[in-house]
Amino acid sequence: MYRYLLPFSLVAFGLPLSAQTLPPTSSSIEAPQAHPNRIAEAAGPLTLQAALNMALRANSELSAARYELQAVEASVLQAGVLPNPALEVGVLDTRKETRETTVQLSQPIELGGKRAARVEAAERGRDAALAELNAKHADIRAAVITAFFNVLAAQERLSLAENSAELAKRATSVASRRVAAGKVSPVEETKARVAEASVRFELTQAKSELATARNRLAALWGSPTPRFERVEGRLDALPALPERMALSQRLAASPALARARLEVDRRQALAQVERSRRIPDITLNMGVQRSEELGRNQAIVGVSIPLPFFDRNQGNILEALRRTDKARDELAATETRLTNELAQAFEQLDVARQESSALQQEVLPGAQSAYDAATKGFEAGKFNFLEVLDAQRTLLQAKSQYLRALAEAHRAAAEVDRLVGTPYAPPSGAMTTREQQ
């Protein structure tokens, strides 16, 4: 009897007896790798494009966002699965002559569009996870560009400090010869040696800043110790200044704003899920009862309907609606914040471009000319050493300020591109001649 019961029940519930189309089991889903692929960092010079490629492939935060997207895609699969039936077997009286055996199959039937609402909410969650991945992609890209040009600026500062140390050493030698010739006071030589010691300290500091900048860049692709020798590029190739109107249009489609909009959509879909739960599900029951005493089988057909007298899911619906309102307010706050940040980054880029241009065209030539004149005048006995030191200090400060302005311009440009979410187009000077070809 029992071998006919299960097929009978399946037919009664309208389920085909042939093989069912089931979602893939966990064994058929490809398991993600435990760790992202490690990048074999080259030991030679590093270009900006190579740094971007390594970071976008091996950055841990970006890899985590990819895994989150895959996890949410799995939740979409689960949201569309039908509820499982339940098989119930009961025996009344253990004596064989009077035993009654009941076998019953129960199938929950979802009403109110619950399954469609779940799928919609899961799909909106997948869209939000994709927007989060795009936003993280823009963040990592901007971080790499900023770190790359910080290393490039640190290399230039180190070169400047080495040249300054050489100049200070030469000035000390000149002062020593003039003291030995009796042309100046020994105090001049002491001042020169103090200035040289100060420059040597700046050289040590420049080396430390370069090492720190190199470590920060390598950390973006998960390397604890940088292997590249140096970065290749032109720090003085300034990024272009975009148009304000074009930036505003690009900001409207930025990953951060898209993520906030999709969060509103996801919250609305979750509110719809809670609304669908107001309608109770029914459970269809069908089975067979065997009475040994009567010697016959009896069919059992029933339906179970919850009565929503008290719990109409009103609390969860209200919570979902308030969270939707919260998401809308967060969207408005995000739009305001991004607009302000974009305006600040634009102004910083504009100011940095103007500052670097003025330093290059006006300040640096004048400072260099003044230093050359003071050095020649000191060697000829026309100026004292304090004037040489002052001219040298002015030149070094101007060059340092110029490097800072260039680095700030590239940082501001990377921030602009991070906010609008578009791929960074590096200036021609940031690429080697081979890459340009």
Residue 392 has pLDDT above 90, yes or no: no
pLDDT digits (tens, 9 = 90+) for 158-212: 998 888 888 778 777 877 877 777 766 777 778 778 878 888 888 899 999 999 9
Is residue 332 helix, strand or coil? helix
Domain boundaries, the chain: 2-11+46-429
Whether the Cβ atoms of residue 341 and residue 247 lie closer than 8 Å to each other? no
Q: Summarize the confidence of residues 214-225 as an average pLDDT.
A: 91
pTM: 0.79
Q: How many CB atoms lie under 10 A from the CB of residue 289?
A: 16
Q: What is the pLDDT of residue 36?
A: 47
Q: What is the pLDDT of residue 210?
A: 94
Q: Token pair for residue 419?
A: 């906010």
Q: Which residues contact 158 (CB under 8 A, 6 or more apart)?
A: 203, 206, 207, 209, 210
Mean pLDDT, all residues of the chain: 84
Residue 219 has pLDDT above 80, yes or no: yes
Residue 22 has pLDDT above 90, yes or no: no
Q: Which residues contact 235 (CB under 8 A, 6 or more apart)?
A: 149, 152, 153, 156, 403, 406, 407, 410, 429
DSSP 44: S
Residue predicted with more confidence, 356 or 393 = 356
Q: What is the pLDDT of residue 37?
A: 52
Q: Which residues contact 425 (CB under 8 A, 6 or more apart)?
A: none
Residue 10 has pLDDT above 80, yes or no: no
pLDDT digits (tens, 9 = 90+) for 327-336: 999 999 999 9
Q: What is the pLDDT of residue 18?
A: 38
Q: Summarize the confidence of residues 144-162 as an average pLDDT.
A: 93
- Range of lowest pLDDT (10-19, 259-268, 279-288): 10-19
> pLDDT category, 84, cuts 50, 70, 90?
very high
Q: Summarize the confidence of residues 276-286 as an average pLDDT.
A: 93
Q: What is the pLDDT of residue 93?
A: 85
Q: What is the pLDDT of residue 4?
A: 40
> pLDDT category, 406, cuts 50, 70, 90?
very high
Bridge-based pairing state of the strands 100-109 and 282-291: antiparallel
Q: Which residues contact 19 (CB under 8 A, 6 or more apart)?
A: none
Residue predicted with more confidence, 343 or 186 = 343
Q: Token pair for residue 236?
A: 């003085």
- The Cα–Cα gap between 330 and 335 comes to 8
- The Cα–Cα gap between 44 and 36 comes to 24
Q: What is the pLDDT of residue 34?
A: 42
Q: What is the pLDDT of residue 305?
A: 92
Q: What is the pLDDT of residue 173?
A: 80
What strands lie across the sheet with 296-304, from one edge to the other? 86-92, 100-109, 282-291, 296-304
> pLDDT category, 39, cuts 50, 70, 90?
low
Q: What is the pLDDT of residue 197?
A: 86
Q: Summarize the confidence of residues 376-402 as an average pLDDT.
A: 80
Q: Summarize the confidence of residues 84-108 as an average pLDDT.
A: 91
DSSP of 205-269: HHHHHHHHHHHHHHHTTT-SS---S-B---TTSPPP---HHHHHHHHHT-HHHHHHHHHHHHHHH
- Its CATH class, for the domain covering 2-11+46-429, is mainly alpha
Residue 38 has pLDDT above 70, yes or no: no
